[in-house]
Structure 1
Amino acid sequence: MVTAVTACGGSNDHKPTAVTGTILQEAQSKGFNALAAAVEKAGLSNTLNNTSAQLTVFAPTDQAFNELATKLGLTNGTALVNALTSQQLQSILTYHVLGSKKTAADLIAGGSSQATQYVYNSTNATLKLTTTSGVKITDAILTDAMVTTADVAASNGVIHVVDKVLVPPGVLNIVQTAQANPIFSSLVNAVVATNLQGTLSGAGPFTVFAPTNTAFAAAPTGLSTAQLTTVLTYHVLAGQVLSNGIPFGTKINTVATGKTITINSTNPPSITDSTVVAAKIVAVDVRASNGVIHVIDKVLIPTLP
Structure 2
Amino acid sequence: MRTPTRPLAASALALAAGVFAGTAAPAATAAPPAADLGHHEGKHAKKDLVGTALENGSFTTLLAAAEAAGLVETLKSEGPYTLLAPTDAAFAKLPAGAIADLLKPENKEKLKSVLLYHVVDGKALAEDVSGMSEVETLEGSMVEVSTEDGKVMLNDATVEAADVMASNGVIHVIDTVLMPEG
Change (3 A) 1:286 1:183: same
Select the structure that is richer in strand. 1
Q: Does 1:286 align with 2:164?
A: yes
- SS in structure 1 at match of 2:59: helix
Task: Tell me which residue corresponds to 1:29.
Answer: none
More helix by share: 2
Cα drift, residue 142 of structure 1: 2.6
After TM superposition, list the pairs within 5 Å mapping 1:1-305 onto structure 2. 142=36, 169=42, 170-220=45-95, 221=98, 222-223=101-102, 224-257=107-140, 259-266=141-148, 267-272=150-155, 278-304=156-182
Alpha-carbon shift at residue 252 of structure 1 (Å): 1.6
For normalisation by structure 2, the TM-score amounts to 0.71
User: Which residue of structure 1 aligns with residue 29 of structure 2?
Assistant: none
Q: Distance in 2 between matches of 1:206 and 1:195?
A: 16
Q: Is the 8 A contact 1:248 1:265 kept in 2?
A: no
Cα drift, residue 71 of structure 1: 8.1
Normalising by the residue count of structure 1, what TM-score does the alignment of the two structures yield?
0.43
CA 1:71–1:227 in structure 2 vs 1: closer, same or farther (change >3 Å)?
closer
Task: Give the letter aligned to residue 281 of structure 1.
Answer: V
Q: Which runs of 5+ in 2 are unaligned?
A: 9-31
Q: CA deviation at 1:282?
A: 0.7
Q: Distance in 2 between matches of 1:237 and 1:73?
A: 27
Alpha-carbon distance, 1:271 to partner: 1.1
Change (3 A) 1:253 1:168: closer
Q: CA deviation at 1:72?
A: 8.8
Identity %: 34
User: With CA pairs under 8 Å and 6+ residues apart, which has the higher RCO, 1 or 2?
Assistant: 2
Amino acid at match of 1:279: A
Q: Give distance in 1, aligned partners of 2:160 and 2:167.
A: 21
